[in-house]
Chain A
């Protein structure tokens, strides 16, 4: 008897064992079982809307409170208080030289004055002065940034980048608020605050970078550089028109893969506004 098997016999045997209907039935059963097993899991999270892939943290819906002038001004107060919290933490680290400390203390004094301005405008707008930091922003970047500086392998560089970034954040915030507020004295105060934070930022860059930090290559359409550790460079004049776009801030020590903590800094919005309904707890 020959060992050779006729190929047509093999096909015939397979066809006998597994018909086309059987294949469809098994395939459908497999998919159904997978769906049941997945549905029985108790550790699922995230959005279940169609089109969402993977597990993501739940999205926090912004509060549905009205936004008026007092809300924006209270938010300005909260931003100033949070900025002061970071700056006082930096001062306590005692890492700046005499010249740097003198400039930094001037900048801190400017923010204390802005606290007073925001408070007066809040009262004038019929609101209640907000005496605390911004809880949403502190949780997501102000407090983690201080922690990252404390753990950093280059604290001086991180302090410099944090101060410039927070001044840029303040400038962008007040530039945006000047558009959103309607009363002349409110708008004027906002652009004065935006100009002040812009000057603070420029002065800090020049104090550290000198002439190399004057003008960003972005004004000539060139890419903005990074330092030897991959941290973006800062410039006194970083753009031709004041920007309110979000930007990145890299702080802290590298992890095992050489990557540093990257914060996306953005101006306050619906999630981080200090609504009139919120009660301070500081």
Chain B
């Protein structure tokens, strides 16, 4: 796309940045106003906690997959992106654990086993194709989970996670040199994982 954009300035000027913490604070603050969801419980229920534990395992598995990519020698823009996404998923795992009230511990999941061979590569395109599929799958999984949550706080957190994972999927599609077609832009082929709630219960 050919647009005439002013060059990026090398000097950085102080300005308000909308970082995650502020966003989360604003989202929670918005809940103070009388809303239709006022009747829903705020803190995660027992059922929510089981789902959240399974989701925490997913997020930490994703972190481990991106770290495996770095260990395999992924470098350049792709390597830098893998490091950012590893940090993101680590933060999501920690945040989910914090909301649900348990410690962020990793567990072996089918997701790690499923994607490990595809992630353990230094080939930028092959890695990005696998990572794009992972992020799209997570968005679909979290979207489905949103409909099952009972508490406001669970919805609030998971919604704030999945919108960034949706953005990450598009970035990864660009690294993978995929066309910006409906498969990428509308995630038409993304399918949710079945949350391994039983596995999460065993890990309690």
Contact = CB atoms under 8 A, between A and B. Distances in A.
B163 interface: yes
Contacts of B95: 241
B87 to A, nearest CB: 7
Interface in B10-57: 12-24, 26-27, 30-31, 33-37, 39-40
A106 B142 CA distance: 25
Interface stretch (A50-58, A140-148, A198-206): A198-206
B146 interface: yes
A244 B77 contact: no
B2 A99 contact: yes
B169 interface: yes
A175 B159 contact: yes
Interface string B137-176: 0010011101111001001100111111011111100100
B19 to A, nearest CB: 5
Interface stretch (A9-17, A36-44, A81-89, A227-235): A227-235
Given A240-B19, A270-B33, A194 B163 contact: yes
B84 interface: yes
A133 interface: no
Nearest to A233: B8
B147 A188 contact: yes
A160 interface: yes
A225 B185 contact: no
B1 A208 contact: yes
A272 interface: no
B88 interface: yes
Nearest to A180: B35
A32 B9 CA distance: 56
B17 A223 contact: yes
Contacts of A120: none
Contacts of B31: 179-180
B197 to A, nearest CB: 17
Contact of B170 (A191, A203, A228): A203
B146 A187 contact: yes
B60 to A, nearest CB: 16
Contact of B162 (A157, A195, A219, A240): A195
Interface of B: 1-9, 12-24, 26-27, 30-31, 33-37, 39-40, 77, 80-81, 84, 87-88, 91, 95, 139, 142-144, 146-149, 152, 155-156, 159-164, 166-171, 174, 180, 182, 184-187
22 contacts: A110-B185, A159-B3, A175-B27, A184-B146, A191-B143, A199-B170, A201-B167, A203-B180, A207-B1, A207-B180, A208-B5, A211-B77, A214-B171, A223-B14, A224-B15, A239-B18, A240-B87, A242-B159, A242-B160, A242-B162, A242-B164, A243-B18
